[in-house]
A and B are shown apart, each in its own frame.
Chain A
Amino acid sequence: MTATQTLEPTSHTSPVRLVDADVHPLPQAQQEMREYLEEPWRSMPAQTFSDLASVLYYPPGGGLRSDAVGTQGQRPGSDPRMTEQQLLRGAGVDYAILIAQVRAYSNPDLESALCTAANAWLADTWLTAYNRHDRYRGSICVCSGRPDLAAQEIERWAGHPGFVQVRVNAYAAAPYGNVRYDPIHEAASRHGLPVAMHFSKGDGLSLATPVGFGTTFFEQHSLYALTYASHLVSLVLEGAFDRFPGLRFVFVEGGFSWLLPLLRRLDGQWEALGGRPPATPRRPSEYIRDHVRFTSQPIEEPDERRDLMRVMEAVEAQHILMFSSDYPHWDHDDPRVALTRVPRTMREAVSWQTALDLYGLPAHRRDLDASDHRD
């Protein structure tokens, strides 16, 4: 394994002004992550791990920014020097929350094993060898198809200071409020770790919508919101937040403006029931601030900027929205552009304060060098 070491950072610090809640590190080659696998998975045939699988819905231009290729031609997201240059220096990110992608296999046991390997890999590389500046934090990948193994994996890493949340795939066999996931929610909330959901490529039935399988990536990607809305409805109405008062969920890359009409529906239904079962103990919209966060990318782009700002004001985005770039994916957001769509009064909260609070990050970060210092 070749660890590309970064320069020794200075002992000087700067105040945090930008936290990026969704960054994707990649191994330089699949082999790098496979070395962390245990048997019998380690000895599985090579094609088991091929990147050529699960390319069922895929962006026609490719999934990664073509200008994010590494300093020695490595694939985007795998060169810590390039990430440092483009993300930390170029985009001005102070802390980055890393989410490794483990694709949703049809076999949950294999997927669980790969999650374990991914976590060990991340801990060694981006959270240690590449993290002398201590500006990266990570997510514990777990497979929701095996809640028992997922809970074990959370226990394994919960004490590691580099991991600040759990990551589950947004594709799932049941929405995340379902009781089958209680072992995950119990372990995560006990350790004070939010659970972040994020899409990883899948195949088979995981790709089904209620009306069948769409033809294009356009149809799939543009309607991630409906998957996330389903999870949110489940978390609230199946009582996950009542069973686990300390549980917090992060909805990554699914938009958030749909929250406004959804909460209106949920609250309207709740009122119509007048407290009778199966109404939740609290009004549905009241669960959001205590239990749910959203990341901003890909930020909505209505013709009228004011429309998005009004939605943000209506959902009180200053409490629940966190900036994210999705570096180095094709549809990433540059913070200097995306944050102009956020009302000025909310920019600090969205840029760093909400994420700082959620992940317990220090209010200052280490400078890479003198030129990286900011007063």
Chain B
Amino acid sequence: MIGNAVVVDAAAHPTVHHSDELREFMRPPWQALPFPGPEEYSYTWPGGEYLGGNTSGADLPGSDPDAFLRDLVHEAGVDAIVLLPLTRGLLPDADLDAEICAATNRWLVQRWLDGPANAAGHFFGSIRVSLADPMRAAREIHEWAGHPRMVQVAVRLQALAPYGQRQYLPVWQAAVDHDLPIAVHTDGGSSIGFAPTPVGQVTNALQFWSLYPWNFAYHLASFVAEGVFDRLPTLRVIFADGGFDALAPLVWRLDKDWRPNRVAMPWSKQLPSRYLRDHVRFCAHAQELAADADRVEVHPGATRDLLLYASNYPKWDTLRPADLAAGLTADEVDWVLGGNAVSLLDLPTQVPGREETV
């Protein structure tokens, strides 16, 4: 807790101790096939990808549950942690990709959610799915949705087509059937796909990370243009890489272009900005903190309504809740640090720390 606020970390990134550990949870033949490792390979941060600089240990940073508890719960005041494991990138083989996601889910449940490391109940999880085979993804969601600690579905920000398009509907429908939000987050590993910008390649990590999270907007525009929020009125999407800092400028433009173009997309029923409160959330990121005076909101109360604290642990720019709170008003703090996540993810009443606020 921070002050009176329950603190929910909406996105922290656990990983296997070493790349091949995942194979213990995979079935043949995929178990023996080559696939990328779990880390960020193309755009590594020059100062070191992880908190505390480059690791010299044998195990990957983020592979030790006790380190999460120490750094997030005991040192930073986090009460509940939503684990969002990354997978291995957008792979050309739909079945291999799906099996990697399935194995990630099995591993997360066994080693983190149901394991002794979670005796105090701080960890919650995300159901990873691949979108290459939407029907398979829907089955994966159905399989894990009943687990009491799985609180959301997680997909990649990288995609071969924006997420409002019709081929994805079975996946969103499955999530909605179980009242699970969809978290969208840049994946690790190595992906097939398009260039990281609409005009081609970048040449270093600064260029990549300053811009890549803003690609949420293509998915958001797609959801609006294809009428997905109208079709699935309870669908909620969390852009877990952030991008909230660009929301007002981008949505002003989406709103401005909506009426002129509505005739070509009559299944889109409302101005884009009107979908935000009911359908869209953002994880906060360290690079977006703004001084109060500079803050321009897409609608009054947007920060309070739409923003979720997330650590992004154990990346180098891990955000501590106290640092985020310093830039929030008193009206916003409780909601952003944990209230929004508790409500959005329907966290059970035994969230550590929550009972104390009743």
Contacts and interface: CB of A to CB of B under 8 A. Distances in A.
Instruction: Please determine if A and B sit in direct contact within the complex, based on CB atoms under 8 angstroms apart.
Output: yes
B249 to A, nearest CB: 4
A224 B160 CA distance: 19
A312 to B, nearest CB: 11
B249 A260 contact: yes
A300 B252 contact: yes
Contacts of B46: 273, 276-278
A10 B70 CA distance: 81
Interface in A287-312: 298, 300-303, 307-308, 310-311
Interface string A218-231: 11011111110111
Interface residues of A, number: 66
A310 B164 CA distance: 33
Contacts of B252: 257, 300-302, 308
Interface string B221-260: 1100110000000000000000001101110111111101
Contact of B218 (A214, A266, A269, A311): A214
B215 interface: yes
Contacts of A214: 162, 218, 221-222, 225
A178 interface: yes
Interface stretch (A47-55, A91-99, A107-115, A166-174): A166-174
A226 to B, nearest CB: 6
Contacts of A238: 203, 207
Contacts of A269: 206, 209-210, 287
A328 to B, nearest CB: 16
Interface string B200-225: 11111011011110110111011001
Interface stretch (B10-18, B113-121, B261-269): B261-269
A210 B214 CA distance: 10
B287 A212 contact: no
A264 interface: yes
A47 to B, nearest CB: 26
A334 to B, nearest CB: 15
B155 to A, nearest CB: 11
B296 A311 contact: yes
Contact of B249 (A208, A311, A331): A311
B159 A229 contact: no
A227 B217 CA distance: 12
Interface in A173-220: 173-176, 178, 208-219
A210 B90 CA distance: 13
Given A272-B47, A278-B46, A218 B261 contact: yes
Contacts of B202: 175, 230, 233-234
Please classify how large the interface on chain B is, using the bins under 10, 10 to 19, 20 to 34, 35 or more: 35 or more
Interface in A245-293: 255, 257-258, 260-262, 264-266, 268-269, 272-273, 276-279
Contacts of B218: 209-211, 214, 219, 223, 226
B194 interface: yes
A59 interface: yes
Given A60-B264, A218-B261, A223-B250, A173 B222 contact: no
A210 B221 contact: no
Interface in B297-339: 297, 299, 317
B221 A223 contact: yes
Interface in B156-179: 157-165
A262 B294 CA distance: 13
B200 A261 contact: no
B131 to A, nearest CB: 11
Nearest to A207: B198
Contacts of A262: 210, 246
A147 to B, nearest CB: 14
A225 B220 CA distance: 14
Nearest to B316: A272
A124 to B, nearest CB: 32
Contacts of B289: 268
B65 interface: no
A219 B290 contact: no
B196 interface: yes
A209 B249 contact: no
Contacts of A233: 197, 202, 207, 210-211
Contact of A216 (B47, B193, B265): B265
A233 B203 CA distance: 11
A175 B199 CA distance: 5
B195 interface: yes
A330 interface: yes
Given A211-B194, A222-B256, A174 B288 contact: no
B161 A258 contact: no
B161 A278 contact: no
A217 B250 contact: no
A231 B257 CA distance: 22
A223 B249 CA distance: 10
A253 B245 CA distance: 21
A308 B256 CA distance: 14
B203 A208 contact: no
A42 B188 CA distance: 50
A230 B199 contact: yes
Interface in A142-173: 170-173
A45 interface: no
A360 interface: no
Given A214-B162, A222-B221, A60 B198 contact: no
27 contacts: A60-B263, A173-B200, A174-B200, A175-B202, A210-B193, A210-B215, A211-B160, A211-B215, A212-B161, A212-B162, A217-B261, A218-B261, A218-B265, A226-B218, A230-B197, A230-B198, A233-B202, A261-B245, A265-B210, A265-B245, A266-B206, A269-B209, A277-B46, A298-B256, A301-B255, A330-B260, A331-B260
Given A175-B199, A210-B198, A307-B296, 11 more contacts: A209-B194, A211-B158, A211-B215, A218-B225, A229-B211, A237-B206, A265-B287, A273-B206, A278-B206, A301-B256, A302-B252
Per CB-CB distance, the 3 closest pairs between chain A and chain B, nearest first, are A230-B197, A261-B245, A212-B161
Interface of B: 46-47, 157-165, 193-204, 206-207, 209-212, 214-215, 217-219, 221-222, 225-226, 245-246, 248-250, 252-258, 260-261, 263-265, 286-290, 294, 296-297, 299, 317
